[in-house]
Amino acid sequence: CPECGWRGVDVRSSVETLIGEVMKRFFEAEDYRLHAAGREDYDARMLGSGRPFVIELVRPKVRRVSLREVERTVNEEAGGAVEVSGLRYADWELVEILKSGATETRKVYRAVVEVEGEVTPSELSELKRALSGAIVEQRTPTRVLRRRADLLRKRRVYSVETRLLGPRSFEMIVECDGGLYIKELVSGDDGRTRPSVSSILGKKAFCRELDVLEVKTPHL
């Protein structure tokens, strides 16, 4: 559509376009592509020190610009939706590191979980014990099946911390392998993700909020 520039995404709000459109202008490039250390759902916030990324510029006419000025312009025009820092020139080796390091990446998430029925401190202690160190078997989530192959993935959860927020909600800090779908780790996705918060508690649960606190990418 005209609004998305025929890219299939909303140019007014995607991370790629908020950064890429500014860089395209500065470097007088024909186009751009984003290479990043993983991806998240549109409603997940990226907090902490951020996510490593490379913007590939297609046929730029200008080769060198002030990257500090690019940073300032991106941050100003994004209006707080996206912030970039520490920009530097990269080569293809860095792109390959981002791609090949995907299986070695760890992520730390903060999830606010709501439960159908009350949840107790003892149940949260059992949840922490059961999930910490667990290997999670996860089929491609139902919500993305229409655009991704139905595969079985195995990912490790390294640690879990919980904090009760109310009789039916709690905060969960999870460190896990990259590629683990956290919303389905919570809900269980009708048995497609095992174990899950729902299966351990024996109650329906869903992720109300999701933040990425840290992306641990090796070799960067």
DSSP 151-211: -EEEEEEEEEEEEEEETTEEEEEEEEETT--HHHHHH-TTTTEES-HHHHHTS-EEEEEEE
Q: What is the pLDDT of residues 135-180, one digit of tens each?
A: 999 999 999 888 888 999 999 999 999 999 999 999 999 999 988 9
Supply 116's token pair: 């159908």
**Tokens 């998240």 sit on residue:** 40
Q: Do domains 2-100 and 105-216 have the same CATH topology?
A: yes
Q: Per-residue confidence at 53, pLDDT binned at 50, 70, 90?
A: confident
CATH 3.40.50.2000 assigned to domain 2-100? The reply is no
Name which CATH class applies to 105-216: alpha beta
**Tokens 């911390």 sit on residue:** 161
Residue 131: CB atoms within 10 A of its CB come to 22
* 3-state class percentages of the chain: helix first, strand second, coil last, to nearest 5: 30, 30, 40
**Cβ burial, residue 160 (10 Å; 0-12/13-18/19+):** buried
Q: Per-residue confidence at 216, pLDDT binned at 50, 70, 90?
A: confident
Catalytic residue set: 41
Is-contact 54 32, C-beta < 8 A? no
Q: Is 98 helix (H, G, I), strand (E, B) or coil?
A: helix
Sorted by where each begins, the domain ranges of the chain are 2-100, 105-216
Q: What is the pLDDT of residues 55-107, one digit of tens each?
A: 999 999 999 999 999 999 999 999 888 889 899 998 888 877 776 656 678 99
Is-contact 210 44, C-beta < 8 A? yes
